[in-house]
Structures are given as structure tokens and as C-alpha cells.
Amino acid sequence: MTRILLTHPVIVRPNYFPPASLAALAALGDLTVNESGLEWSTEELIAHARDCDIVVNYRETPAGAAIFDSLPRLKAWVRVAVDIRNIDIAAASRNGVLVTNASGVFVSSVAEWTIAAMIDVGRRFSDSIAAYHAGRVPVPVMGPELKGATVGIIGYGRISRYLVDLALAFGMRVIVTDPMCKVERTDVRQVSMDELLAEADHVVCLAVANAQTENLINADVFRKMKRTAFFINPSRGNLVDEAALMAALEQGLIAGCAMDVGRAEDQMPDPRIAAHPRVIATPHVGGLTPSLHQQSVEAVAQVADIIAGRMPGNALNAEHALRLRA
């Protein structure tokens, strides 16, 4: 029987690998799960995976070369997330191990978070809610509308394209910058980065996170934004130079910031920045709606394909999956 290991710590499992998916995975083979409340270290993971054929991997559990070099029985590493930056795919390929990932099923969820964040960071609803919860009566403040404002979107992927429709429905003017693709719509204007920063009332960062975009949003970007503009980050923390962001907030170069991500644990916002009075922050929950459960459904389907001898969807190194072919 195929031996399967699920690395999701028990505390996060309901959000990322719910009971129905867990039961479906258990029906496919001899399943071992992480019953601790913490992620395993590399050494612990190797010990638990020693006799496993397939590892189904939590998004925050890294897979370095040591793992693939130490598990001669392992055939496949099934990642229940889109982001694979902490997986050494070259090491997996060198050892003949298949790596898969999940689809971005949270497009609408993240776009909706972005709209909510743009409203909240401008009108300070969170401040009023916090004051009432603390037993204080907040002072009413006037804030900007989305209608008539300009949103500048950096990156034009699936989330951005969905966000465009929401922003237009709110009566916003939409501009986009992305050197890698062409915007075909007549109701959206494609501009340079400098034009976007000069015009946007809300700068939304939805660029792809990779080595080339590390610190894409830096001190120069904040200097070029309007002082009345808000910076919104629903994407990845490594896109932002956080020291530059804090300096921009302290110096009043931008009106405020809304962030769902950062460089803290589990890609959460840095608590020091999140505590700034002109920041609203959430703990990496932009995509955390029931639609996210589809990723676990995909993972189960990938495991079923592997066991049946089929190449699964979202295979990232199929040509190197020699152990699976054997």
C-alpha cells in the first residue's frame, strides 16, 4: 500500500486541509499526519517521511535539498499551495522526485480583500471598531470614496484582472502597469510605473514574487507616490522594502498602508509596521475563504493520479520524475 505523509500541523489543518479532504486522502493509502501543533524541522520531517512514497506538504514547510537527498523511497512532493519558493525543485529533480503545486483558487477572495482594504484604510472603520470595543466613543472622521478615485495596479495577473472589474463597478478609474503583458481592455489604461505612481490614489501591488521583483516597492517608489495616496499589498511581503515603507509612513510620504502580507512568519505583516497608526493589517487572510479548500481537493486528486500511474495536473518537473515512472 502507498504510504502518504501529510505535514500540515494540526492547528492549521482545518483551514488548509479540511476533514473531507483528509478522509479522501486516507482512503488512498496508509496515511500519517502531523499531530503536533508546530511545523516539523527538516530533521523531524525526514524522520517521519523515511518510509513514505508521497509527501503532501503544508505551504510553510520548506523542502530543501537535505530532504530530497535523504529520502530514497520518496516519489512525489505534493504542495498544497501555489508558492513553491521554499522548495528546492532542482534537488527534487536530481533525485527523480516529482513536485506538484496547487492552482490559485483564491482570486476572488484576494480581490475582495483588496476592495475592503482600500475602503478601510481611507475611512478608518477599523479604528472606530477598535475604539468601541475598548469602551471608547470614536471621533467621526471624513474619508475618501472609491468612486472617482484612481487605482493603480502593479501586475496584471488573474487577481488583478478580477480586481479591475470590481474597481470599475465602484466607479473607480483603473490604470495598470506590467511590462510582461499587454492590456487589451478599452476601459483600463496601461501606463509606465512612474505614470502609475504619479496618478494613483491607491497603489495596489499584485506583481509576481520572485528574485527579480525582490524589493520592487522601495524608497524610490514611495517618493514618487502622491502624499494623499495609499499603498495596498495583498501579494507577498518580499516585494516590499519594509524599512522604506516604515520611513515613508513616518515621513508622511504616503497617506497610509493596508497589508495582508509581510516578512514575518507565515508571510504575515511585520508587527512593528502593522502597529503604525496609519496602517491596517490582517494576518495573511486575503485568500482564507472556503474556496481555498479546493487546493486540498486538487492535492487529493494529484495523489490519486500518482498512485494510478498517471502524471497529475500541475506537475512542475514531470520530465525528471524518474522514481514515479519506475
265 in the same domain as 122: yes
Band of pLDDT at residue 60, cut at 50, 70 and 90? confident
pLDDT at 139: 94
d(CA 141, CA 121): 12
13, 202, 284, 320: the active-site residue: 284
* Residues 223 and 172 occupy one common structural domain: yes
Q: Which of 262, 281, 300 is the last residue of a domain?
A: 281
Q: Does residue 126 sit in the same domain as residue 235?
A: yes
Q: Give the model's pLDDT for residue 265.
A: 86
Q: Report pLDDT digits (tens) over 132-141.
A: 999 999 999 9
- The 10s digit of each residue's pLDDT in 279-295 is 999 999 999 999 999 99
The confidence score (pLDDT) of residue 199 equals: 98
According to the model, what pLDDT value does residue 37 have? 86
Same domain, 152 and 222: yes
Confirm whether 310 is a catalytic residue: no
In this structure, the answer to whether residues 305 and 315 fall within a common structural domain is yes
Residues 273 and 175 reside in one and the same domain: yes
How confident is the model at residue 211, as a pLDDT? 87
14: CATH: 3.40.50.720
Whether 25 and 162 share a structural domain: no
Q: How many domains does the chain have?
A: 2
Both 125 and 236 in one domain: the answer is yes
Q: Which of 13, 79, 236, 320 is catalytic?
A: 236
Query: Are 46 and 184 members of one domain?
Result: no
pLDDT higher than threshold 80 for residue 326: no
Q: For position 87, what pLDDT does the model report? A: 95
The catalytically annotated residue of 227, 265, 272, 310 is 265
Q: List, for residues 159-200, the tens digit of each pLDDT value.
A: 999 999 999 999 999 999 999 999 999 999 999 999 999 999
State the pLDDT at residue 318. 95
Q: Is 236 a catalytic residue?
A: yes
Residue 305: which domain range? 3-105+289-325
Asked if residue 127 and residue 79 are part of one domain, the reply reads no
How far apart, in whole angstroms, are the C-alpha atoms of residue 193 and residue 195? 5
Place 155 in a pLDDT band, splitting at 50, 70 and 90. very high
Q: How confident is the model at residue 266 (pLDDT cuts 50, 70, 90)?
A: confident
Region 40-57: what's the mean pLDDT?
Answer: 96
Instruction: Verify that 127 and 229 share a domain, yes or no.
Output: yes
Interval 13-17 mean pLDDT: 94
Regarding whether 173 and 50 lie in a shared domain, the answer is: no
Please, are residues 207 and 213 in contact by the beta-carbon 8 Å criterion? yes
Q: What is the pLDDT of residues 195-241, one digit of tens each?
A: 999 999 999 999 998 889 999 999 999 999 999 999 999 999 999 99
Please indicate whether residue 184 is annotated as part of the active site. Answer: no
The Cα–Cα gap between 203 and 254 comes to 10
Instruction: Compute the mean pLDDT over every residue in the chain, rounded to the nearest whole number.
Output: 96
